[in-house]
Structure 1
Amino acid sequence: MPREVPRTRRVAEQVQRTLSEMLRRDVRDPRLKPVTITHVKVSPDLSHAWVHYQILGGDSHDPLQREILDEAAGYLRGPLGRALRLRIAPHLHFQPDEDLERGNRIDELITRAVRDDAERHVDDDAAPDEPKS
């Protein structure tokens, strides 16, 4: 994995903060209000930003939500570039954030494994002890 340089990390953090504020304050489309920007990755030349998001109380993988965000990207790009004082504003690519879902799946697997293990141990305790030789 390529090493992230401090400038790209700093710009990614600024993009996340600024986009979150713009979505909250400037965008009038109510369908975008429950969107939370979870993290942003920026290309080394700062020309592209991959914006990971979650839909609060909804499905982040809903194609309609992604289409709405992709349409808003053109509107958001100019003000974002001016707010960050970048010569060229990055192209915005919206992607649903799968970290929360992945974490929930792992938690579910761990819970199931612990429950299955506890059931096996209950069965072991219920079995009569065999005489030791």
Structure 2
Amino acid sequence: MSSRRLLKAASAIREVVSMAILTELRNPRVSGVTVTGVEMSPDMRQAKVHVSIMGSEQKQAECLEALQRSAGFLQAKINDRIETRYTPKLEFVIDKGVKHSIEVARILRDVLPKEEEPEDEESDDESTEPQE
């Protein structure tokens, strides 16, 4: 199976799942969720949905569990909107890429030398004026 076809199917599934989570899923535990990507198995029977969830570790775990419980509903939405031979079984995993990038940026800020801020030109002008 061509990788182009898998990428196209993954993109379509990402779009359907993200819109369904945003507009149609009524579970209050599912909030602050962003679908960052979808990985398809070569036979297109399974899809791993990568999600970024804002909040504490406990909130992330609760939200991930709620998403897993809503997988059947989301698979039905995929079946309604995308014409494929098989509707892929959804598995949700937390994408830690965003949190890792924030942590790396914080570490770099701490390690790299701080640049001196240029002095404000107006304050220079005021200090050089003769005082009467």
Scaled to the shorter chain, the TM-score interval is 0.7 to 0.9
For 2:14, the equivalent position in structure 1 comes to 16
* Post-superposition CA distance 1:92-111 (Å, at most 9, x none): 01011110011012112211
In the TM superposition, residue 79 of structure 1 has moved relative to its aligned partner by 2.0
Show CA shifts across 1:98-125 (max 9, x none).
Answer: 100110121122112203x88xxxxxxx
3-state SS of 1:30 partner:
coil
Structure 1: gaps (5+ residues): 119-133
Structure 1 residue matching 2:111: 3-state secondary structure: helix
What TM-score do you get using the length of structure 1 for normalisation? Answer: 0.76
Cα 1:65–1:33 shift into 2, 3 Å: closer
Identity over aligned pairs, percent:
25
Q: CA deviation at 1:60?
A: 6.2
Q: 1:85 aligns with which of 83, 86, 90?
A: 83
**Moved beyond 4 Å, runs of 4+:** none
| CA shift digits 1:74-106 (9 cap, x unpaired) | 121122123111121111010111100110121
- Unaligned 5+ residue runs, structure 2? 116-132
Distance 1:104 1:28 in 2: 30
- Alignment RMSD: 2.0
Give 1:64's aligned residue: 62
Secondary structure of the corresponding residue to residue 50 of structure 1: strand
Tell me the number of residue pairs that the alignment of Structure 1 and Structure 2 aligns: 113
